[in-house]
């Protein structure tokens, strides 16, 4: 070759396709005629002669095409071959005693053949090394084989890494890829191709456009792997309180013999449900669905977990914790009325016209005392569905209103304890006055009396149970700023607004407030045990709230207020606020703490907002308070006894907007609570929010290597595939370098040779001689 | 009067004293349903006994607590007007236009929650009283107009199932109404409802019904009870149809 570095075979004869076809046909004719002509000879002689003729014909055709050898000296641009080393977290998993998946990749890079390939200057290729996970980072061979090379990526994005490198070097100068990975792709590729599926069209098109081989060496095999993982927990970002919630759990179970695995759902450590899953070697994916009903608004930490088994590659992925935000869709109100009245009419209208209220009403339109002279089919009445309302569906309501309703005629005694428990468990309850309410309604000594905010007297004469005089209720001190009775922000104006209300008529007589209850408005003349008779009283009852309004004429605020030249607003403001207070509307909180994140990785920051408003909901500026950061380890979410510890205490002062914005670094995995406390004229206020600190990465959820995916990737690109450590680098070939310039060129015509001419003559002579000898002219 | 009607009347008459003797079920008078008659001038109360008689039936047949008397309400007296959310407006002849203040008061009263039941005692559709009443309603509620109350309306099933609205006469097969967002503000009967309810002190009906029959009078009473029930409960009965669906759609339990 001398100075030449490339050799090519050429044909100088400038013939078209039709000429070549014609020559082929002519050759076939020669073959046929010869075969026919020599038909009387023995097959051997016939074959020899026909063969010689064909050989001569073939050489003649070759000469006609004028073959030549082209020797060239060319200049090439070396293309880039990228070696991609997966440094995602799954690469830290052990494959052999003491060896990780990443270590196996590094061992491959340290083999002699690979070292030679990567370090010896190559005529066609430049070798670039990259680590990749959720991004791509250039490295060196030394860096790639460094035992301290971290594998901390929270994702594996193979196609994205290939595209990134392609963009870096340019598609024209790309020679190929060597991919060292376990194939657990959490990017485009993994999203498009599920386990057991073939490559999708889009990925195939992408690989085809690349036009270079991707040689894959997988760092781990499924064979011998044993792991149980809560791979995915599928749930909506938020749930509605008292609405059924479904949580779908995907389990990945690899290397297990037939077994029954219990999977549990816990809420804040409390066991809610356990489901058993039958697993076996024939499948790796199992699905479980949990259904439950959140009972409280706010954030709650839920945990899905399965036990750890011996020999598992990773036990940390046997559980997954998540935060569910529970909100309210509509206020679900149950209005039960003992007799139609104006008070009922106006309250029903208020509730019915509120688009945020889902109202179920039940009115007693006829009692056993009423005369009934017509058949039932001429009436539109239906039975009072006590069991449906107070047994089957009670828990679905946010608030229950008993408006001038006596329970006894309807056999409801058995349901009163249920209603009391419903309130203690977080429900809202209001009893509104009338001759069928409180003592007059027979509630003395019942379970419901225990949760009322007023103490009611035993039954007696009518005069001892009701008073029929007109009165204008007076605000108590607590009522000046309470959201229910706050008709004006300024306490003095609020008192005036109440004094200007149309008078009410008649009140139920009670003994006074229950211990711990708050009287918001009272009767101006009547005393109960030395204190003004409560008219509007509220109380916290366990997790719920109750309210007593000892009159049935608040409708007058809506109607007669207009008659006095004012508006219906006081009536609407009072009852709307009452409903919101009863259902514990978070918007009524004066102090509110919110953590922007629900899940923070260890070592990350939680961004906390504290918002403080005064009783009139104006920003509370310059108020000092304290913020506590409480920590519970993850074990507490498993139901184990674990004390919450205070990790941080920090004083704060609100700015002009009544806001405090804090960034809190957190490191320990667990459940964290941010609790804020401040004191304003409304008293001591507290609020809290929760978040999780956990390494919630899909990388360690699905650790079963995806050999099938990698194999398809290699095949589609024309690359090779092998599982480490059983392979070397012999079959690593790449796209040739691109030639940009021919420096020297020499063409040697092969056909223009005496030897070829002599060969043809010799063959013709041999044919002639043999034909004559075998008796033919 | 046939035997069944006789027995029914006898039973009702026997039961009435007992029912009237029972204690009131509302705390004070203001908690009871006190229905007013609109005192607008002219012959404003052509059937003076009718409303009280009908309300007695309401008290007997339903759980509603009824005030023992009816009141005459002057539309210029705002205190009286706004403490009576239900007014009957009856007449048998034309009347002079109401003062502007009365019209304004009634307009505000209707907007605040009042309901006006217009009953024509003229025995025909489109009589002078009816025309005058329409004129006044148009002035009280500008932009709103009367429409027929369809047979499917909850008014006809608020307590009794009423196939056809009748009164002392049956000259119109439908009632008319002026509707707000969620309820009828004004109801108009052409059939002299009050005429069918009116009874003297001895309990005898004061007017014969036409085309006639005890059934027609009974249906007129039922319509009166339905009007009272509708005024207090509005579309409650319509809701009842949807309750099973509402409860079912909630999906608040794990089954």
pTM of the model: 0.67
Q: Per residue in A584-595, is it b (16+ CB within 10 Å) or e — as a string?
A: bbeeeebbbbeb
- Total count of domains within chain B: 1
User: B85 vs A436: CB contact, 8 Å cut-off?
Assistant: no
Q: What are phi and psi of B160, to 5 degrees?
A: -95, 160
Q: How near does any CA of chain A get to the CA of B63, in Å? A: 5
User: A562 vs B81: CB contact, 8 Å cut-off?
Assistant: no
User: B83 vs A373: CB contact, 8 Å cut-off?
Assistant: no
Most confident of A425-439, A486-500, B29-43, B238-252: A425-439
pLDDT tens, residue by residue, A347-373: 999 999 988 898 999 999 988 888 777
User: In this predicted structure, what is the pLDDT of residue A42?
Assistant: 87
User: A339 vs B64: CB contact, 8 Å cut-off?
Assistant: yes
CA distance A195 to A184: 10
- Residues A139-151 have a mean pLDDT of 90
Helix (H) or strand (E) holding A197: none
- Residues A49-67 have a mean pLDDT of 87
- Residues A63-77 have a mean pLDDT of 82
pLDDT higher than threshold 80 for residue A415: yes
User: In this predicted structure, what is the pLDDT of residue A393?
Assistant: 87
pLDDT higher than threshold 60 for residue B7: no
- The answer to whether position B255 is within a domain reads no
pLDDT higher than threshold 70 for residue B15: no
**From A380, A553, A568, residue closest to B31, measured CB to CB:** A553
CB A734 within 8 A of CB A118: no
pLDDT tens, residue by residue, A93-124: 888 777 899 999 999 998 888 888 888 888 78
Going by pLDDT thresholds of 50, 70 and 90, the confidence category of residue A38 is: confident
- The answer to whether position B29 is within a domain reads yes
Which comes out higher in pLDDT, residue B13 or A229? A229
User: In this predicted structure, what is the pLDDT of residue A117?
Assistant: 86
pLDDT tens, residue by residue, A532-591: 999 999 998 988 999 999 999 999 999 999 999 888 999 999 999 999 999 988 877 889
- Interchain CB contact of B66 with A (< 8 Å): no
- The answer to whether position B144 is within a domain reads yes
Going by pLDDT thresholds of 50, 70 and 90, the confidence category of residue A173 is: confident
pLDDT higher than threshold 60 for residue B32: yes
User: In this predicted structure, what is the pLDDT of residue B3?
Assistant: 41
- The answer to whether position B254 is within a domain reads no
Q: What are phi and psi of A141, to 5 degrees?
A: -65, -40
CA distance A109 to A178: 11
pLDDT tens, residue by residue, B70-118: 999 999 999 999 999 999 999 999 999 999 999 999 999 999 999 999 9
- The answer to whether position B56 is within a domain reads yes
pLDDT tens, residue by residue, A648-677: 999 999 999 999 999 999 988 899 999 999
Q: What SS3 class is residue A645?
A: strand
> Residue B131: which domain range?
3-249
- The answer to whether position B244 is within a domain reads yes
CATH label of the domain that carries residue B90 = 3.40.50.12140
The per-residue DSSP string of A75-143 comes to EEEPEEEEEEEE-BGGGGSEEETTEEHHHHHHHHHTSHHHHHHHHS--SSEEEEEEEESSSEEEE-HHH
pLDDT tens, residue by residue, A369-410: 887 778 878 888 777 788 888 988 898 899 999 999 999 888
- The answer to whether position B22 is within a domain reads yes
User: Would residue A183 be called left, alpha or beta, if left means φ above 0 and alpha means ψ between -120 and 50 degrees?
Assistant: left
- Residues B156-171 have a mean pLDDT of 94
Residues within 8 A of A (CB atoms), B 83-122 only: 83, 85, 108-109, 111-114
CB-CB neighbors (< 8 A) of B237 in chain A = 380
CB-CB neighbors (< 8 A) of B83 in chain A = 556, 559-560, 563
DSSP-assigned beta bridge partners for residue A599: A692
User: A379 vs B240: CB contact, 8 Å cut-off?
Assistant: no
User: B254 vs A358: CB contact, 8 Å cut-off?
Assistant: no
User: B19 vs A371: CB contact, 8 Å cut-off?
Assistant: yes
pLDDT tens, residue by residue, B176-194: 999 998 899 999 999 999 9
pLDDT higher than threshold 80 for residue B246: no
User: In this predicted structure, what is the pLDDT of residue B9?
Assistant: 38
Going by pLDDT thresholds of 50, 70 and 90, the confidence category of residue B6 is: very low
pLDDT higher than threshold 50 for residue B10: no
- The answer to whether position B159 is within a domain reads yes
Q: What is the mean pLDDT of chain A?
A: 89
pLDDT higher than threshold 50 for residue A23: yes
CA distance A566 to A569: 8
pLDDT tens, residue by residue, A607-664: 999 999 875 567 889 999 999 999 988 877 777 777 788 989 999 999 999 999 999 9
Size of interface A-B (CB pairs under 8 A): 199
């Amino acid at each position: 070759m001398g100075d030449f570095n490339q050799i090519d075979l050429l044909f100088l004869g400038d013939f078209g396709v039709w000429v070549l076809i014609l020559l082929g046909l002519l050759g076939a004719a020669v073959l046929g005629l010869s075969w026919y002509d020599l038909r009387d000879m023995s097959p051997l002689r016939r074959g020899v002669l026909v063969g010689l003729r064909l050989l001569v014909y073939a050489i003649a055709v070759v000469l006609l095409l004028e073959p030549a050898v082209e020797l060239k000296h060319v200049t090439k641009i070396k293309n880039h071959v990228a070696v991609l080393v997966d440094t995602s977290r799954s690469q830290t998993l052990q494959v052999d005693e003491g060896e990780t998946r990443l270590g196996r990749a590094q061992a491959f890079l340290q083999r002699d053949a690979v070292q030679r390939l990567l370090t010896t200057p190559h005529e066609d290729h430049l070798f670039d090394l990259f680590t990749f996970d959720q991004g791509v980072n250039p490295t060196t061979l030394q860096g790639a084989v460094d035992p301290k090379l971290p594998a901390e990526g929270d994702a594996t994005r193979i196609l994205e890494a290939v595209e990134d490198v392609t963009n870096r070097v340019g598609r024209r100068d790309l020679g190929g890829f060597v991919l060292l990975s376990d194939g657990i792709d959490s990017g485009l590729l993994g999203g498009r191709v599920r386990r057991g599926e073939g490559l999708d069209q889009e990925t195939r098109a992408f690989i085809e456009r690349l036009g270079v081989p991707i040689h894959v060496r997988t760092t781990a095999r499924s064979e011998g792997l044993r792991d149980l993982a809560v791979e995915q927990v599928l749930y909506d970002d938020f749930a509605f309180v008292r609405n059924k919630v479904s949580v779908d759990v995907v389990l990945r179970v690899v290397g297990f013999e037939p077994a029954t695995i219990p999977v549990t759902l816990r809420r804040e450590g409390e066991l809610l449900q356990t489901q058993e899953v039958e697993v076996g070697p024939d499948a790796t994916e199992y699905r479980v669905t949990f259904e439950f009903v959140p009972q409280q608004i706010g954030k709650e930490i839920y945990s899905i977990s399965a036990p750890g088994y011996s020999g598992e590659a990773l036990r940390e992925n046997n559980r997954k914790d998540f935060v569910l935000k529970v909100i309210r869709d509509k206020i679900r109100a149950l209005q039960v009325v003992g007799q139609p009245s104006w008070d009922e009419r106006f309250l029903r209208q208020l509730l019915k016209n509120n688009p945020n209220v889902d109202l179920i009403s039940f009115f007693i339109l006829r009692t056993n005392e009423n005369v009934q002279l017509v058949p039932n089919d001429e009436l539109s009445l239906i039975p009072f569905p006590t069991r449906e309302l107070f047994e089957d569906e009670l828990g679905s309501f946010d608030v229950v209103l008993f408006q001038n309703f006596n329970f006894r005629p309807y056999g409801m005694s058995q349901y009163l304890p249920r209603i009391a428990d419903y309130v203690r468990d977080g429900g809202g309850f209001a009893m509104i006055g009338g001759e069928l309410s409180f003592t007059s309604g027979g509630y003395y000594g019942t379970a419901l009396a225990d949760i009322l905010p007023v103490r009611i007297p035993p039954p007696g004469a009518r005069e001892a149970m009701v008073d029929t005089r007109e009165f204008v209720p007076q605000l108590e001190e607590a009522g000046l700023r309470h959201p229910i009775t706050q008709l004006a922000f300024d306490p003095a104006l609020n008192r005036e607004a109440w004094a200007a209300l149309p008078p009410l008529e008649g009140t139920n007589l009670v003994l006074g407030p229950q211990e711990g209850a708050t009287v918001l408005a009272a009767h101006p003349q009547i005393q109960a045990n030395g204190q003004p008779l409560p008219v509007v009283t509220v109380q916290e009852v366990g997790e719920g709230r109750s309210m007593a309004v000892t009159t049935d004429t608040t409708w007058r605020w809506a109607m007669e207020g207009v008659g006095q030249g004012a508006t219906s607003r006081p009536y609407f403001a009072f009852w709307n606020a009452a409903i919101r207070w009863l259902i514990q509307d978070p918007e009524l909180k004066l102090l509110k703490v919110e953590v922007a994140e629900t899940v923070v990785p260890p070592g990350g920051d939680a961004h906390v907002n504290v918002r403080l408003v005064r009783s009139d909901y104006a920003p509370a500026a310059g108020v000092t308070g304290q913020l506590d950061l409480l920590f519970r380890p993850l074990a507490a979410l498993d139901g184990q006894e674990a004390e919450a510890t205070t990790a941080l205490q920090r004083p704060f002062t609100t700015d002009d907007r009544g806001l405090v914005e804090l960034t809190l670094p957190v490191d320990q995995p667990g459940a964290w609570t941010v609790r804020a406390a401040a004191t304003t004229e409304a008293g001591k206020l507290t609020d809290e929010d929760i978040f999780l600190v956990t390494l919630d990465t899909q990388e360690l959820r699905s650790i079963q290597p995806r050999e099938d995916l990698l194999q398809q990737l290699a095949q589609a690109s024309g690359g090779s595939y092998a599982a480490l450590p059983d392979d070397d680098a012999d079959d690593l070939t790449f796209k040739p370098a691109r030639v940009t310039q021919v420096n020297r060129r020499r063409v040697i015509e092969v056909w223009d040779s005496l030897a070829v001419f002599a060969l043809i003559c010799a063959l013709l002579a041999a044919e002639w001689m043999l034909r004559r000898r075998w008796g033919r002219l | 009067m046939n035997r069944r009607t006789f027995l029914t009347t006898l039973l009702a008459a026997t039961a009435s004293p007992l029912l009237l003797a029972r204690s009131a079920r509302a705390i004070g008078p203001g908690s009871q349903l006190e229905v007013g008659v609109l005192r607008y001038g002219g012959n404003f109360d052509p059937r003076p006994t009718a409303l009280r008689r009908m309300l007695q039936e309401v008290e007997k047949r339903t759980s509603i607590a009824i005030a023992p008397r009816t009141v005459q309400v002057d539309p210029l007296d705002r205190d009286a007007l706004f403490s009576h959310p239900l007014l009957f407006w009856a007449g048998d002849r034309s009347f002079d236009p109401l003062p502007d203040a009365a019209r304004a008061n009634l307009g505000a009263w209707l907007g605040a929650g009042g309901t006006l039941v217009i009953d024509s005692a003229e025995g025909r559709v489109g009589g002078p009283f009816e025309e005058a009443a329409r004129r006044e309603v148009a002035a009280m509620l500008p932009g709103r107009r009367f429409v027929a109350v369809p047979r499917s309306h909850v008014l006809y099933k608020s307590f009794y199932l009423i196939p056809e609205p009748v009164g002392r006469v049956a000259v119109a097969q439908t009632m008319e109404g002026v509707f707000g967002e969620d309820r009828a503000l004004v109801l108009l009967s052409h059939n002299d409802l009050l005429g069918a309810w009116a009874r003297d002190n001895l309990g005898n009906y004061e007017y014969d019904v036409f085309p006639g029959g005890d059934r027609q009078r009974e249906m007129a009473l039922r319509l009166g009870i339905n009007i009272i029930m509708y005024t207090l409960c509005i579309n409650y009965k319509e809701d009842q149809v949807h309750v099973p669906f509402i409860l079912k759609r909630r999906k608040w339990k794990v089954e």
